[in-house]
Amino acid sequence: MAAPPSIRPARIEEALALSELCVRSKGAWGYDEAFMALARAVLQVSPQQIAARDVWVATGADGEVAGIVALGPSEEPDTLDLDKLFVEPQRIRTGIGRALIAHAINEARRRGATRLTILSDPYAAGFYERNGARLIGEAPSDAIPGRSVPLYEIKLD
């Protein structure tokens, strides 16, 4: 069994590379170019988000970045949003995503949130369910006009 990934805060100079990781990971589901062009904006990791200490990366035993997780504000009280969780395509199903979601849950608790909400890609829904998320409905996609996607929550209290 492989060693668990190390998780550390993202570095501002990694913003572009992390954005590209998010695009590669989303693209692994086989979406067409038109879809990916629309999704690209919400897949960007901004230096400001990193500077706010809202972004972490998982590195494998080789020291290479293997995944990313980011938290964001919510319109709901005592709630944070899982803004991003993406894993390098060749490292999907290796425990990286599981480690990243656990980190996000712990960080959300540390910040005083009682709930974490997740606007999920339909292909990732099973992953979130296996990691304790409960489907609470559907919500408009943050990237694709007219598309609805699953909305999940993880209760933190």
Q: What is the pLDDT of residues 27-42, one digit of tens each?
A: 999 999 999 999 999 9
88-107: average pLDDT: 96
Digit-coded pLDDT (tens) for 123-154: 999 999 999 999 999 999 999 999 999 999 99
* CA pair distance 24, 21, nearest whole angstrom: 5
Structural domains in the chain, sorted by start: 6-155 (3.40.630.30)
pLDDT score of 4 more than 90:
no
pLDDT at 96: 96
Is residue 80 within 8 Å of 111, Cβ to Cβ?
A: yes
6-22: average pLDDT: 98
Digit-coded pLDDT (tens) for 41-93: 999 999 999 999 999 999 988 889 999 999 999 999 999 999 999 999 999 99
pLDDT score of 1 more than 70:
no
Q: List the alpha helices (DSSP H) in 55-137.
A: 96-110, 125-130
User: 133: which 2 tokens?
Assistant: 């998320």
pLDDT at 2: 63
* CA pair distance 92, 41, nearest whole angstrom: 23
Nearest to 133 by CA among 95, 104, 110, 90: 104
pLDDT at 3: 74
What lies within 8 Å, CB to CB, of 132 at 6+ separation is 105, 154
pTM attached to this predicted model: 0.94
Q: List the alpha helices (DSSP H) in the chain.
A: 15-27, 33-39, 47-51, 96-110, 125-130
Taken in order 83, 41, 127, 2, the sign of the CA dihedral is negative
Is residue 66 within 8 Å of 8, Cβ to Cβ?
A: no
What lies within 8 Å, CB to CB, of 76 at 6+ separation is 115, 117
